[in-house]
Every structure is written in C-alpha cells, then in structure tokens.
Amino acid sequence: MTERIMNKTGMDAAAAMARLRQELGRVIIGQEDVIEQITVTLLAGGHALLTGVPGLGKTLLVKSVAQLFSLTFKRIQFTPDLMPADIFGSEVMDESVGRTEKTFRFIPGPVFANLVLADEINRTPPKTQAALLEAMGEGHVTVGGVTYPLEKPFFVLATQNPIELEGTYPLPEAQLDRFLMNIVMDYLPLADEERMVRETTAPEQVALQPVLDGQEIIALQRLAREVPVSDNVVAYAVRLCAATRPGGAQAAPRVNDLVQWGAGSRASQAMILAGKARALLQGRRNVACEDVRALALPVLRHRVITNFRAEAEGVDAEKLIAEILATVAE
C-alpha cells in the first residue's frame, strides 16, 4: 500500500516540481538551484535563510512561490525599532457598543500566514529575532498568557544582506541552526540578465497559475518523511557533519586549525530530511548519497563557524565544506 502511494504521489510531486519550475521561469530568470532548495526546504517542513545582495529579486521570488502554492503571504520589514508585538500581534481593549464589561481581543500580527518573508532579519535587535525564531521552532505564539497556533503549512524565509555590517545584529550561531538551509542568491549570468530585463520591462506582466495548495503541501510533507533511507546514506550524512567538528576523531584536514564550531546533530537530521524531500520531488523512492552531496553546502554553510586564522588566510566555510566533500567517502 505504501509503495503504491509512493509511486503515485512521488510522480505527482515530480510533475508539480516541473510545473513549478515552468511557472517560476516566466517571472524568475535563472536561479534554478535556489528554486529547488526553497522547495526542498518547504517540503521538509523547515525554514530557510536567503542571503544575497540587494536587487537580485529575493522578494519577487518569495511572493511568486506563495502564489504558486496558493499560500497566504506576509512580509515583515525588520528594523532596529521592531518589537515582538509587531510580529505576533497584540491585545486591544474591545469597546464594542452594548458591552457592559471591557474585554481584550487579540489582533493577529503578520506572522499568522503560511509564508512569512522576514526581510533583513539581521537589522533588528536580538530580542525580536529570538521571538520570531521561537515561533519557528514551536509552531505557535503566546500573547497575554494565551497560546495561538500558527497556520499550517508555516514557512519562514528570512533574508539578510551580506555586504552591510554597520547597524546590524548578526544572528547567533544557536539561532542560525534553526534554519534548515542557508540559500545564497548570486548575480545572474549576462545572458539570463538580458532576458530578465527584456521580460520584466515588457508592457504585460505574467500571471502565475497555482500548482499546489496548502493541504497538498502538508500531505507531501508527511509523505516526504516516509521516503526510505538506507543506513549507508545516514552514515554518510553523519560522517560529513562529524568532519566539520574540530577536536573530533573524524575531523577533516585543516578543520582543527580553521574551524571554531562545527555542525551539530541537527545538521545531520536536516541533511536526511532535505534529502527525502529532494528524492520525492524527483519521483524517486529512496534517498541517495548524491542527495546529501547536493544539499550539503546550503545545509552546512551557516553551521560551520570559521576562526580568525581562517579569515586571515582567506578561507571561508564554503571552501572547507568543498574540501570535506572531496575527502569523506560514501
């Protein structure tokens, strides 16, 4: 029975991914890897950090994904004066006509949406950052002693600008670990940028057609967890993460000298969950080591913290992860 469902829904997921790419390709030029990683994160039930310089279309991409999945969408612009109540909502006094007693009613904030864009999350103080990240981890918020569940599916895409450091509040390592992936958007190749300029300045703008709805996404999230994974693939993911940890017996060459903190056990879990979602989207019934390799960089790049020596030598986390992938055997 399970195999029959896997065959049917797995193929449906692969077909939906093809339609998603086709629809997004009408408004988002290039960025195929980014689109795949966002979709994998969504079906794995995680959240993603989207890193890139201004002007690359991060907001347009997130809005387009919300439309294609028929999800409610809210954008929160993070600023130094943003407070947790601006995200969660607040209680106000209800002074309705005819009421003899004054009561409070809750007005939900923008976090009550299926897809939340936390724009420039590193521009708001740690207290507000922690409030959002707690909601991401718990799936609910508490205001005035009352707990309110968040909508399902619930997916946060947080953006940060890597080139501006003044006036920002970098996310602590423990909070970065709550993001399943750190997805990097880069500049487009010249040919893709020329096509993007032509199409986005045309008289008529493209109208996107929904591919999946929220309930179908929830069903696919459940199904993704049922995708079988062999002990060999799990062991490979664990070895990759262990190779990033300085002082450990499995530490890769140069890790002891250049890494301050390596990836924890949550990274191993993230790799397997993301691998299951990727296999499902490609219509496969099992996870391969290739899935782990393909997702290792976005899963690990924000979890491997280099030290001052690495900075002095011009070695960043991405270079170290590439070395680890080349040295750790399947």
Locate the domains of the chain by residue range. Answer: 1-80+110-200, 227-330
Average pLDDT of the residues of the chain: 85
| Predicted pLDDT at 1 | 31
Q: Is the pLDDT of residue 6 over 60?
A: no
% pLDDT > 90, the chain: 42
Which class would CATH give 227-330?
mainly alpha
Which residue spans within the chain are E strands per DSSP?
Answer: 48-51, 73-77, 89-94, 103-108, 115-119, 140-143, 146-149, 155-160, 181-184, 259-261, 305-306
The pLDDT of residue 327: 92
Averaged over 322-326, what is the pLDDT? 95
pLDDT in tens, 267-308: 999 999 999 999 998 888 899 999 999 999 999 999 999 999
Lowest mean pLDDT among 43-47, 190-194, 319-323: 190-194
Rg (CA), the chain: 21
Give the pLDDT confidence score for residue 12 in this predicted structure.
Answer: 67
Question: Is CATH 1.10.240.10 the classification given to domain 1-80+110-200?
Answer: no
| Residue 213 confidence (pLDDT) | 84
Model confidence at 317: pLDDT above 50: yes
Distances 127 to 122, 147, 161, 166, 175 between C-alpha atoms, Å: 12, 19, 20, 18, 12
Check if the beta carbon of residue 139 is closer than 8 Å to that of residue 154: yes
pLDDT for the residue 205: 67
Phi/psi-derived region of residue 208, left when phi > 0, alpha when psi is between -120 and 50, beta in every other case: beta
Q: Residues with Cβ < 8 Å from 188, sequence gap 6 or more?
A: 29, 30, 31, 56, 196
198-242 pLDDT tens trace: 777 777 766 777 888 888 889 889 989 999 999 999 999 999 999
The reply to whether 227-330 shares the fold of 1-80+110-200 is: no
Calpha distance 44→229 (Å, rounded) = 14
Residue 135 reports pLDDT greater than 70:
yes
Assign 165 a pLDDT band (cuts: 50, 70, 90). Answer: low
Per DSSP bridges, beta strands 155-160 and 48-51 are parallel
What are 161's strand-pairing partners? none
* pLDDT exceeds 80 at position 23: no
